[in-house]
């Protein structure tokens, strides 16, 4: 087996030039390299592949059977590398067909994706967006390896190689059905809030909600009667019960106007749930990644 990490890819550029030009002299002229340099590269490739690759016949060379077999895959590979490098350096969203993977919690997807797609629909008609669930405990690795292009989430612990920018500030609101007995004139007290059964929407099996951390800090604990994965499910259950659901006010209004639920202020002041965009330092100046970040920021009406 040949380990590609030990191969100088320039050897295949030389191979292609010799095959195309029919000899070392023409390859030397095409690549503007000396003939000894071309000959040395060919010798290294012959040793690597254990095949002469080209047989001299007069002033020209004839490719061996292996050379004929390799030229197609090598040319395609070189072309793909060249195309990829050109796309990175000359990224044009108006013609690009690139796909961007954005890591985000499912509940954030509801707020971001519709506005983002509306923002790019005319300027980047062929760009594809994939909103994917990211692992919060290891999103640094996902960003550094390019598994996701950016992440959008609440404030997370950061390393020096992860950059971030503020997107929006979100207040918590309590979702209740219309006519809920615990809601009085559009308000709910902490005592009434804690007396009710609650829904927690989370993709995690056991973790408490962010609001539970804040309640615990204040010495309170609520009763979680239902855990589900999606906020739409939670709001649907609220509409047909006396259970309460606590969520971000901004996208809570979009969901619940369809269900007829009411949103009331959270019964105590807690820090807002700020939303940030994260990316790895290695793509800080990457044209495509920078464009994506700009579009996400624009979808939040320029708030920063």
Other C-beta atoms closer than 10 Å to the C-beta of 147 total 15
DSSP structure class, residue 209 = P
217 in helix, strand or coil? Answer: helix
Domain residue spans of the chain: 4-89, 99-169+274-299, 172-265
Query: How confident is the model over 17-50, as pLDDT tens digits?
Result: 999 989 999 899 999 999 999 999 999 999 999 9
Other C-beta atoms closer than 10 Å to the C-beta of 302 total 7
Domain 172-265 in the same topology as domain 99-169+274-299: yes
Its pTM stands at 0.62
163 beta partners:
279
> Is the predicted pLDDT of residue 301 greater than 70, yes or no?
no
Query: How confident is the model over 94-137, as pLDDT tens digits?
Result: 999 889 999 998 778 877 898 899 999 999 999 999 999 887 77
CATH 3.40.190.10 fits 172-265, yes or no: yes
- Token pair 């060249």 is at which residue? 82
Please tell me the distance from the alpha carbon of residue 51 to that of residue 61, in angstroms, as a whole number.
14
Query: How confident is the model over 4-14, as pLDDT tens digits?
Result: 777 888 999 99
Query: How confident is the model over 160-203, as pLDDT tens digits?
Result: 889 999 998 878 899 999 999 999 999 999 999 999 999 999 87
**Tokens at 63, concatenated:** 């490719």
**CATH number for the domain formed by residue range(s) 4-89:** 1.10.10.10
Q: Name which CATH class applies to 99-169+274-299.
A: alpha beta
Which alpha helices (H) appear in the chain, and where do they start and end?
Answer: 10-21, 24-31, 35-49, 65-89, 106-120, 139-144, 190-195, 210-217, 231-239, 249-256, 287-299
pLDDT at 162 (0 to 100): 92
Please tell me the distance from the alpha carbon of residue 129 to that of residue 40, in angstroms, as a whole number.
46
Please tell me the distance from the alpha carbon of residue 168 to that of residue 210, in angstroms, as a whole number.
17
Please tell me the distance from the alpha carbon of residue 15 to that of residue 63, in angstroms, as a whole number.
10
């Amino acid at each position: 087996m040949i380990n590609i990490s030990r191969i100088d890819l320039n050897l295949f550029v030389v191979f292609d030039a010799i095959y195309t030009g029919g000899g070392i002299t023409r390859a030397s002229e095409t690549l503007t390299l000396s003939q000894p340099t071309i000959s040395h590269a060919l010798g290294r490739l012959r040793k690597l592949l254990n095949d002469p690759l080209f047989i001299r016949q007069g002033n020209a060379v004839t490719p061996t059977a292996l050379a004929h077999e390799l030229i197609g895959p090598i040319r395609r590979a070189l072309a793909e590398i060249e195309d990829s490098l050109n796309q990175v350096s000359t990224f044009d969203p108006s013609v690009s067909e690139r796909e961007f993977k954005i890591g985000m919690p499912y509940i954030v997807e509801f707020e971001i994706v519709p506005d983002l797609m509306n923002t790019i629909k005319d300027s980047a008609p062929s760009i594809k967006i994939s909103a994917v669930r990211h692992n919060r405990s290891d999103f640094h690795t996902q960003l550094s390896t390019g598994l996701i292009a950016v992440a959008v989430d609440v404030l997370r612990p950061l390393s020096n190689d992860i950059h971030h920018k503020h997107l929006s500030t979100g207040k918590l609101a309590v979702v209740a059905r219309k006519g809920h007995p615990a809601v009085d004139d559009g308000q709910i007290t902490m005592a009434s809030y804690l007396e009710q059964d609650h829904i927690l929407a989370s993709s995690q099996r056991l973790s408490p909600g962010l609001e539970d951390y804040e309640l615990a800090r204040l010495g309170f604990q609520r009763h979680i009667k239902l855990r589900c994965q999606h906020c739409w499910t939670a709001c649907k259950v609220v509409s047909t019960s006396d259970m309460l659901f606590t969520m971000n006010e901004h996208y809570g209004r979009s969901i619940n106007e369809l269900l007829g639920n009411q949103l009331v202020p959270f019964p105590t002041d807690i820090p807002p749930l700020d939303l940030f965009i994260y990316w790895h330092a290695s793509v800080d100046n990457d044209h495509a990644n920078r464009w994506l970040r700009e579009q996400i920021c624009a979808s939040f009406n320029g708030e920063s």
